[in-house]
Each structure stands twice: as C-alpha cells, then as structure tokens.
Amino acid sequence: MLTVVSESRCFGGTQSVCSHASRATGSAMRFAVYVPPHHGTAALPVVYWLSGLTCTEENFIVKAGAQRVAAALGVALVVPDTSPRIELPGDRESYDFGVGAGFWLDATEPPWASHYRMETYVVDELPEVVADAFPIDTRRAAVMRHSMGGHGALSLALRHPERFRSVSAFAPIASTLRSPWGQKALRGYLGADERAWREHDVTVLLRERGWRGPPILVDQGMADPFLAEQLRPDLLREAARDAAVPLVLNEREGYDHSYYFIASFIEGHLRHHAAVLGVPA
C-alpha cells in the first residue's frame, strides 16, 4: 500500500513523495518519484538517485533542478530516503551513522541488522514498488549518487549489474576502506572483521568484478572540503585503470560539495544515462 504524501505538477510532469511499509527494512520508508510528461501507455526508463549523509528523499528533488532535464528526456527519477526512520539506540548521536546514514548496504550487526537493509531495499524491493504504481520500466534503470558510501550507486551497480545499466556519481567516496566516514559505517553496520568490508569498497569491487557497462561518469569539485580525506578520486582513477574499466572523471575547478555543484552538472549525467537507456536524444 502506497501513500501519496505530496504531489506537485513540475515541468509538465508530476513530482510525488510516497510512503510505504517496507518488508526489507521492517519500517515505513519514503521515496520521491518524478514522472515526466508521457503518453498513457508509456513504460519510462528510470534513473535512481542515492543521496548523501544527512539527506532525505527531499534534498535532490528540491535542489538539483533535475526535473527540467528529465522532462525533456522523458526519463523518470526515483529518490529513496537514506535510512529507515525508526528509533534505535545511538542512531542520532552523530550525523554520519544511523539515521540519514544508511550507506546503502545491509547491516549484519545488531541492532542495525533488523532494519538497516538499504541494499536489499534499493535493489529488490523499491523497483517492484515503483513498477507497480508508476508507468516505469525498472528494467531500464541507471543510478547516480552523491558522496556517501563507496558502496552507494557505484558499489550497488558493480554488485548488481543486472539491475543498473549505467552508473554515475558526484563527489563519491572512492574507497570506504580508506575513508574515515566509510570505516566508521562499515565497523558499525558489518562488525570488526574487515574482510566483510571489502564487498562494499568500490576500488576492490572494480578490481575484482569489473564493469561491462558504459563508461562510469564522475564529477568532482576541486574545492570540495572532503576531497583529500574522505573522497580520494585518485584511488578511483587508479582502480578503474587497473581494472580496465572506462571512467570519465571530470575535475571541476572551484566547485564544492554542495547542490550548487550538482545542479551545475546534472544535465550531463542525465543525458549520459538517457543515451544508454535508449532514449532518443
């Protein structure tokens, strides 16, 4: 059962926020959907957006200016929340763990393991829910994300290439193993054994699994305050080269980590995905 929380006309299409009882997370989950103008019988391709730390389903849809481009291309957008919104001990003690920081993986440590199952949610459950309620063909899907988790869009795409035909990122964490944010999250959600962490590190996944899809598109602001300590695009470039995976890494002089940066370059990412998903340009 899907509840429509809000619905607004936007660029001739409809921007909705929905809520539903998720079986993956055992909680209510919210997500946003933008459906562009379309014919009644459409089965639209879809681009998922996975947000960064502290975000909800709302940040991207109000700040990125993506609907204009999605409307022009005839592509749907789906934006899940970044974590379950339930009360667990310690879940609000820091901005980078717990609420708003699900890191797009399935936790194995208690108490998180019962609810923080964001990988299963995004990969298995959400596409079904979306396909049931909207004129969207979730087999034609791409994924983009911002910042949080070397295992955000990049690792989900590398782990589930059957689900996502194309992938791109803004200011991604290249290696969770070598990022303080990532280390904290992996230890908390997966426990102390670092072998389990490797399954959620993009540089490891690139080297071990490769990527047969189209070039991975990444934009990185060179005035991003998290660049050197948390993000490390140099590690991403190195891993892609070792794995012979085509990577387009745009270094954007003067840009920071904000949505002003994302808005400036979102059009290129959406056009990249639309071309892969077979949308006439």
Active site residues: 147, 224, 257
In terms of Cα–Cα distance, which of 104, 140, 96 is closest to 120? Answer: 104
Among 256, 268, 271, 279, binds a second copy (CB under 8 A): 256
Number of residues located near a second copy, criterion CB under 8 A: 23
CA proximity to 44, closest of 54, 33, 35: 35
DSSP line for 175-232: -GGG-HHHHHHHHHHH-S-HHHHGGG-HHHHHHHH---SSPEEEEEETT-TTIIIII-
In the set 8, 37, 95, 251, which binds a second copy (CB under 8 A)? 8
The CA distance from 81 to 54, in Å, is 10
Structure tokens at 273: 């995905």
Among 3, 4, 5, 12, binds a second copy (CB under 8 A): 12
Contact status: 259 vs a second copy (CB under 8 A): yes
Burial of 271: CB neighbours in 10 Å, binned 0-12, 13-18, 19+: middle
Q: Which stretch binds a second copy (CB under 8 A): 63-71, 138-146, 160-168, 184-192?
A: 63-71
Q: Does 254 bind a second copy (CB under 8 A)?
A: yes
CB of 7 to a second copy, least distance (A): 9
226 counts as binding a second copy under rule CB under 8 A: no
For a second copy, the binding residue among 54, 108, 114, 264 (CB under 8 A) is: 264
| Contact yes or no for 74/90 (Cβ under 8 A) | no
Where does this chain bind a second copy (CB under 8 A)?
8-12, 15, 62-63, 65, 67-68, 221, 223, 252, 254-256, 258-261, 263-264
